[in-house]
Amino acid sequence: MQDPPKHDGIATGTIYNDTSRKLVLSFKHGRKIALAPMLAGMIRARLAGLEGEWLAVPVPLHRLRLWSRGFNQSALLARELAKAENVELVVDGLVRTKPTPSLGGLGKRERARALQGAISPHPKRTDLLKGANVLLVDDVLTSGETTNACVSVLRRAGAKRVKIACFSRVLDEAL
């Protein structure tokens, strides 16, 4: 209660376990991008009806990581959700302005430190974000530091509401 969330809720397709881990790793690192509709469908099953107009904004990758991977897995999920929910996709609403190390294996504090100043609103999208309802899309919510950084940036850009949509969520007990 002393540190309330900055977001307006989280819609999660599933908890992070061995099965969801295999799906995420196949999707993200195994380049099985055809899994995007199924993973997004699982998120959508938990997503309460979005009242009014919304923007689907994926968690950004730094351009070097995007170039090496060839795709942003969060953008693929956001595209599927935007299509299914009939909301506007703003694939470049946020920008990762500096490369960050892989956050896997880092604790909450180390993740927060690595993300400090790494995410910004796209300068050409600030007018669109101001006063908007934003569905922030990611593949896995681990410690919440990445989504917290994104939510903070979206709030500073003037977003009215920010709801997080992710395929899989790590329970606090597992951290």
Residue 27 has pLDDT above 90, yes or no: yes
Q: What is the pLDDT of residues 155-170, one digit of tens each?
A: 999 999 999 999 999 9
Cα–Cα distances (Å) from 79 to 53, 59, 114, 116, in that order, read 16, 12, 27, 27
Q: What is the pLDDT of residues 40-77, one digit of tens each?
A: 999 999 998 788 999 999 999 999 999 999 999 999 99
Looking at residue 1, its pLDDT comes to 58
Looking at residue 175, its pLDDT comes to 43
Looking at residue 111, its pLDDT comes to 81
Looking at residue 4, its pLDDT comes to 73
What are the residue boundaries of the structural domains of the chain, listed by start? 10-174
What is the amino acid identity at position 130?
K
Q: What is the pLDDT of residues 87-124, one digit of tens each?
A: 999 999 999 998 876 777 777 788 888 788 889 999 99
Residue 173 has pLDDT above 60, yes or no: no
Cα–Cα distances (Å) from 98 to 20, 46, 92, 144, in that order, read 29, 32, 15, 19
Burial class (CB in 10 A: 0-12, 13-18, 19+), 57: buried
Q: Which CATH number fits domain 10-174: 3.40.50.2020, 3.90.1200.10, 3.30.1520.10, 2.40.160.20?
A: 3.40.50.2020
**What is the spatial distance between Cα 160 and Cα 50, in angstroms, rounded to a whole number?**
14
What is the amino acid identity at position 56?
A
CA atoms 117, 119, 124, 125: torsion sign: negative
Ramachandran area for residue 55 (φ above 0: left; ψ -120 to 50: alpha; else beta): beta
Q: What is the pLDDT of residues 131-150, one digit of tens each?
A: 999 999 999 998 888 999 99
41: enclosing H helix or E strand: helix 36-46
